[in-house]
Structure 1
Amino acid sequence: MALFHPIVLASLLPIWAFYYWIVPYFTTYKHLRHLPGPFIGKFSNVWLGLGARKGQKYAWVHGAHQKYGKVVRVGFNHVSIATPDGLRVVYAHGNGFLKDIFYEAFISGVPGVFNVRDRGEHTRKRKIVAHAFSPGAVHDFEPYMSANLQRWVVQLDRISNDPGKDGFARMNIMPWCTFLAFDIIGDLAFGAPFGMVWRGRDECESTRPGEPATYVPGAETLNRRGELSSTLGLLPALRPWARYLPDPFFSKGLRSVKNLHGIAVAAVAKRLESTEAAQPGMQQRRDILEMLCRCKDAEGNSMPRDELVSEALTQLIAGSDTVSNTACAIIYWILDGERRNPGAIVSRLQAELDEAIHANPSIAAHGEVKNLQFLRLCIDEGMRLHSTSAIGLPRIVTGNGGVSCENEYFPEGTVLSVPSYTLHHTADIWGSDVEEFKPERWLNATPQQKMSFNPFSYGPRACVGQNVAYMELSLIIGTAFRRYDFNLYQQKLESHEGFSKKTRRMLGWDQVAGRQSVG
């Protein structure tokens, strides 16, 4: 028993650390020794994991690239490549690379199309899910988006009808974008909105196995789940012990993982029950869940219930978190661009919207805004600056020949990633005005800039719902700037990262007031 005495264990820890961290640096991963990077990152993933724990992984990796260059060793076997060619090599069709074990930390229930690692299984799932995002299907989504957008402007009108002395009603736009995005994806993925816009608060029903239904904050739950999963994905050795760690970050995060899965379980169950109770001959809703239920794989099999829940949960996460933060960030950057260049942004955008949108509507129609050039330029420039999908998505090099990129050779088994935020903020690509909101830069974008723009990832694992995202963003931004005038008092946009980068207290002192509609 003396072997387990605390003093003996303490004396053995340096020996264990030497063989666990130091020896592999000189042996297994010696081919990476010449690459620059943070000192701790050369021996372990602790540096990356700590950045994820603090919600600043994207910023830490960006800082490392600014200090060390385009190719940086950020983990014991993980290299970050911040170049357009890196995107082509790491995420291209046909390269055979696998998703890293990082993604296993995001699985609750069975794997979904986002976190499944097996290539064949991903292909099967993507073929099924892609049907729900075909051009015809996306067109059918507009009535659901419009109904929720209508409820949204009713609430904003109510707020704007109580202005201060300067004629503007103070509000924090971030939660209202969150409520809208959650309600829209609830309508599309589960058949009914969560009711956040109507209630004006972050609340969703959640059902956990063996427990009665309860209400949990949906956005907060999703944020905590993303923060925890990103951290444990980088530090997989902690996963079995996470529940025992004294840091409440882990216990709260694990509870959020269960609650988020419960949100999907409750919503899918309600929808399927209502479908089963429907009268014969009744017209079916045309939404994501209906299409997932109807689709079959190559063998003619329908999607099992647990897989249906996982795929619906994937759509909930992808369609709420990203859209809400992106919409908020675009509003901020439009207003910040106007603040720095008075008369150059907002008036031009509103003139385009006034000409395109019919007189006195409450909200924009997609047919009116989908082809508006300046609106699209503003959306793309906002996505470049904010980069909701900011982190480098890790891939494992496969094949006996390895891969070469940026004059470096990476053998099979190396983990590579390309950080979107850094690509979007590299002066060598975008010019000395890289940190400025300039929509017109897209009118003459270079091939290198077009290749570097990566808001939806790239290659066979790119976001399947990007057409829906553009549609939703066009409706939200088009409606907001057609209907309201804004004053921006916030000087800096602060962000916090879970899996995606989200605005923190977004537009905390933003103000909104009603515009006179132009016929």
Structure 2
Amino acid sequence: MEARHVYLLFCGAFIVAFLNYFTRPDPLKDVPGPWLAKYTSLLLAYHTRTGKRFLYIDSLHQKYGPLVRITPTQVSCSSPDAPSIIYAQGSSALSKTPFYRAFYVSGTPSLFSTQDRFDHASKRRVLAHPFSYSSVKQFESWIQTTLGKFINGLDARCLPPSSTSGGAEIAGRPSGGSNTSASKVKWVDMLAWFNYMTFDVISDLAFGEPLGMVDRGSDILDTKSDATGVAAMIDYRGRTAAFLGLFPAILPPSSISSWCMWILANIIPDEFISRGLNSTDSLSKIARKCVRRRLSEGGEVKRGDLLDRLVEGLGKQDEIVQEDDVVTEAMLLLTAGSDTTANSSAAILFHILRNPRVHKALLEELSQLEIDEGEEGLMLPSHDQVKNLPYLQATIDEGLRKFATNAFGLPRVVSDGSSVEISGKLFPPGIELSAPAWSIQHDPSVWGDPFEFRPERWLEDGNTHLKKHLLTFGMGPRMCIGKNLAYMQMQLMIATVILRYDFELRDETLESVEGFMHKPVDLWVTIKRRD
């Protein structure tokens, strides 16, 4: 065939494809949004890269209303009733979209990232009992042990009783142990310390031993000077996955996925992508090392912890342990079960300290507790003492609402042979829908004064319906399985630090960034023991 004919054939094919793309029926043509969103996900990807996607989505809803087209196939739905439709239970449940393939580990889906309903049901059955309240309650002694080390670390960083923070030295995140000199006044990053606590708890439960972060006062596991902390690795992984998830054609199980990931990690000079992919590899190696240690012991139940349950319930098929499956779920527990709880706790503490009225009311409630002296002379409340305190629970829920750790809408796809109606619009199969948590948790029609930190709203008569609008742990069949463990840790940590310390905030605002999850940048305070 002559070159001229090849050229004409190529041009003809291009014209046909172009006309087909722009003349085919568009089921979302009447849904408002930025014009570029009709044709590409690049606009949403840009705002994902900035770490402020949730604010961008909220601004679109302020401009266009409750339905906004944010990609060629996805609509963000901010009406208060949208979550109960998008994240419905039973036969009405919508499947997860290809977006979640960005969270695969070595091509293996986890409980969180699997799209297959049957696979998800099977994985959830394995972990449902270990994460029930009765099982989590059995873990309390391990949690209390870590909490005691956490308090010892903070005690070592307290200001002397007569000191003020006026000349406090701003230091980096603490890296020493309990021998830190109290005479050298330093600001303490409470976000970092909440991370140390929650990482040690979840690694103790998921890997059989704590990672030792509280003891070291650091989340850096590698001794190299340029090593990255685990919290930063989780943030890098989440931000990269949230970005790559918008381009499912290059994600597993695509035939070109491995090539695309290699090119992104090694050829394209984009630190954002390579850093996230490298962090995934590093976290996977941490999980694999711990899993292999347990498997080398025969995989027998020894502690009754979460890793035992994974090995026994998920990892054996025909008596052969499927290491990749266990590693993937163990890594999910490490990343989802620690970082989010620490981020939420830091945000809750910030809002308590920024609102003296709330601080006073909470302290009055907690001061009624009769706490016995425990090991090493520490007086730590038990979970039975704090789990039903109404103002403490209201304060935690208000902090979760206002900060919105899970800030952007988790996408679902309308199944074949069905349709979904939201805000008067009928969406056909193949359309992706999401409900932006930050926008819904700041909707004046639900909350009245959404930008006020007011725990009392949760205790007022007639407000029991507010719980269904709190999307921190999701809802429906894919609701976060670690809710009980997260609440136990938040209740114990917040109650303990409020009872034991007086804090002074360094900053009047809480700076934050959004990767996959919304997290504070830091929370610098000075600490003094209360009289």
TM-score past 0.5 threshold: yes
Q: Residue 252 of structure 1: CA displacement?
A: 1.4
Partner Cα separation in structure 2 for residue 92 and residue 307 of structure 1: 27
Name the structure 1 match of 2:479. Answer: 462
Please tell me whether residue 106 in structure 1 is matched to residue 103 in structure 2. yes
Partner Cα separation in structure 1 for residue 320 and residue 222 of structure 2: 27
Equivalent residue for 2:130, pick from 132, 139, 158: 132
Equivalent residue for 1:368, pick from 361, 385, 391: 385
**Which segment is superposed worse, 413-422 or 361-370?**
361-370
Please tell me whether residue 290 in structure 1 is matched to residue 288 in structure 2. no
Name the structure 2 match of 1:43. Answer: 39
Q: Residue 83 of structure 1: CA displacement?
A: 1.9
Partner Cα separation in structure 1 for residue 423 and residue 323 of structure 2: 45
Name the structure 1 match of 2:24. Answer: 27
2:304 counterpart letter in structure 1: R
Do the aligned residues in 2 keep the contact of 1:484 with 1:514 (CA within 8 Å)? yes
Structure 1 residues 66 and 301 mapped into 2: Cα distance closer, same or farther (>3 Å)? farther
Partner Cα separation in structure 2 for residue 130 and residue 426 of structure 1: 32
- SS of the counterpart of 1:376? helix
Question: Which runs of 5 or more structure 2 residues have no equivalent in the other structure?
Answer: 169-184, 252-259
Name the structure 1 match of 2:501. Answer: 484
Equivalent residue for 1:223, pick from 235, 238, 245: 235
Between Structure 1 and Structure 2, which shows a larger proportion of helix residues?
1
Q: Residue 242 of structure 1: CA displacement?
A: 2.1
- SS of the counterpart of 2:523? coil
Q: Residue 216 of structure 1: CA displacement?
A: 4.9
Structure 1 residues 285 and 227 mapped into 2: Cα distance closer, same or farther (>3 Å)? same
Structure 1 residues 17 and 329 mapped into 2: Cα distance closer, same or farther (>3 Å)? farther
Residues 137-186 of structure 1: per-residue CA shift (max 9 Å, x gap): 11111111111111111110000045784268532211111111111111
Do the aligned residues in 2 keep the contact of 1:104 with 1:233 (CA within 8 Å)? yes
Do the aligned residues in 2 keep the contact of 1:141 with 1:286 (CA within 8 Å)? no
Structure 1 residues 296 and 183 mapped into 2: Cα distance closer, same or farther (>3 Å)? closer
Name the structure 2 match of 1:401. Answer: 418
Partner Cα separation in structure 2 for residue 425 and residue 491 of structure 1: 21
Give the 5 Å matches for 1:503-518.
503-504=520-521, 506-508=522-524, 510-516=525-531
Name the structure 2 match of 1:210. Answer: none
Please tell me whether residue 247 in structure 1 is matched to residue 262 in structure 2. no
Do the aligned residues in 2 keep the contact of 1:84 with 1:451 (CA within 8 Å)? no
**Which segment is superposed worse, 263-272 or 86-95?**
263-272
Structure 1 residues 379 and 51 mapped into 2: Cα distance closer, same or farther (>3 Å)? same
Give the 5 Å matches for 1:335-414.
335-338=353-356, 344-359=357-372, 361-414=378-431
Q: TM-score by structure 2 length? A: 0.85
Number of residue pairs aligned between Structure 1 and Structure 2: 485
Partner Cα separation in structure 2 for residue 146 and residue 42 of structure 1: 52
Structure 1 residues 138 and 478 mapped into 2: Cα distance closer, same or farther (>3 Å)? same
2:28 counterpart letter in structure 1: L
Query: Once the two structures are aligned, what percentage of the paired residues are identical?
Result: 35
Name the structure 1 match of 2:339. Answer: 321
Equivalent residue for 1:55, pick from 39, 44, 51: 51
Q: Residue 238 of structure 1: CA displacement?
A: 5.5
Structure 1 residues 111 and 157 mapped into 2: Cα distance closer, same or farther (>3 Å)? same
Partner Cα separation in structure 2 for residue 93 and residue 215 of structure 1: 43
Do the aligned residues in 2 keep the contact of 1:486 with 1:511 (CA within 8 Å)? yes
Residues 374-413 of structure 1: per-residue CA shift (max 9 Å, x gap): 1100000000011111110110101323111110010000
Name the structure 2 match of 1:82. Answer: 78
Name the structure 1 match of 2:147. Answer: 149
Do the aligned residues in 1 keep the contact of 2:136 with 2:484 (CA within 8 Å)? yes
Residues 190-230 of structure 1: per-residue CA shift (max 9 Å, x gap): 11111111111122369xxxxxxx97521111111111111
1:179 counterpart letter in structure 2: Y
Structure 1 residues 297 and 226 mapped into 2: Cα distance closer, same or farther (>3 Å)? closer
Structure 1 residues 26 and 355 mapped into 2: Cα distance closer, same or farther (>3 Å)? farther
- SS of the counterpart of 1:502? strand
Structure 1 residues 297 and 194 mapped into 2: Cα distance closer, same or farther (>3 Å)? closer
Partner Cα separation in structure 2 for residue 468 and residue 346 of structure 1: 24
Do the aligned residues in 1 keep the contact of 2:386 with 2:495 (CA within 8 Å)? yes
Name the structure 2 match of 1:272. Answer: 295
Structure 1 residues 237 and 16 mapped into 2: Cα distance closer, same or farther (>3 Å)? farther
Partner Cα separation in structure 2 for residue 137 and residue 359 of structure 1: 24
**Which segment is superposed worse, 81-90 or 445-454?**
445-454
Q: Residue 97 of structure 1: CA displacement?
A: 1.6
Q: Residue 372 of structure 1: CA displacement?
A: 0.8
Please tell me whether residue 421 in structure 1 is matched to residue 438 in structure 2. yes
Name the structure 2 match of 1:189. Answer: 206
Equivalent residue for 2:67, pick from 44, 65, 71: 71
Partner Cα separation in structure 2 for residue 352 and residue 18 of structure 1: 71
Partner Cα separation in structure 2 for residue 204 and residue 16 of structure 1: 53
- SS of the counterpart of 1:314? helix
Do the aligned residues in 2 keep the contact of 1:181 with 1:324 (CA within 8 Å)? yes
2:94 counterpart letter in structure 1: F
Residues 326-382 of structure 1: per-residue CA shift (max 9 Å, x gap): 0100001111222xxxxx211221121121241554322111111111110000000
Equivalent residue for 1:234, pick from 238, 243, 246: 246
- SS of the counterpart of 1:132? coil
2:353 counterpart letter in structure 1: L
Q: TM-score by structure 1 length? A: 0.87
Structure 1 residues 359 and 515 mapped into 2: Cα distance closer, same or farther (>3 Å)? farther
Name the structure 2 match of 1:439. Answer: 455
Q: CA RMSD in A?
A: 2.8
Structure 1 residues 276 and 238 mapped into 2: Cα distance closer, same or farther (>3 Å)? closer
Partner Cα separation in structure 1 for residue 289 and residue 136 of structure 2: 25
1:133 counterpart letter in structure 2: F
Equivalent residue for 1:171, pick from 182, 188, 191: 188
Q: Residue 24 of structure 1: CA displacement?
A: 3.5
- SS of the counterpart of 1:425? coil
**Which segment is superposed worse, 217-226 or 443-452?**
443-452
Q: Residue 446 of structure 1: CA displacement?
A: 3.3
Partner Cα separation in structure 2 for residue 131 and residue 298 of structure 1: 18
Question: Which runs of 5 or more structure 1 residues have no equivalent in the other structure?
Answer: 207-213, 339-343
Residues 444-502 of structure 1: per-residue CA shift (max 9 Å, x gap): 25365332111100100000110111111001101110111112231111111111111
Partner Cα separation in structure 2 for residue 196 and residue 127 of structure 1: 31
- SS of the counterpart of 1:79? strand
Partner Cα separation in structure 2 for residue 447 and residue 407 of structure 1: 27
- SS of the counterpart of 2:68? strand
1:358 counterpart letter in structure 2: I
1:140 counterpart letter in structure 2: Q
Q: Residue 46 of structure 1: CA displacement?
A: 0.9
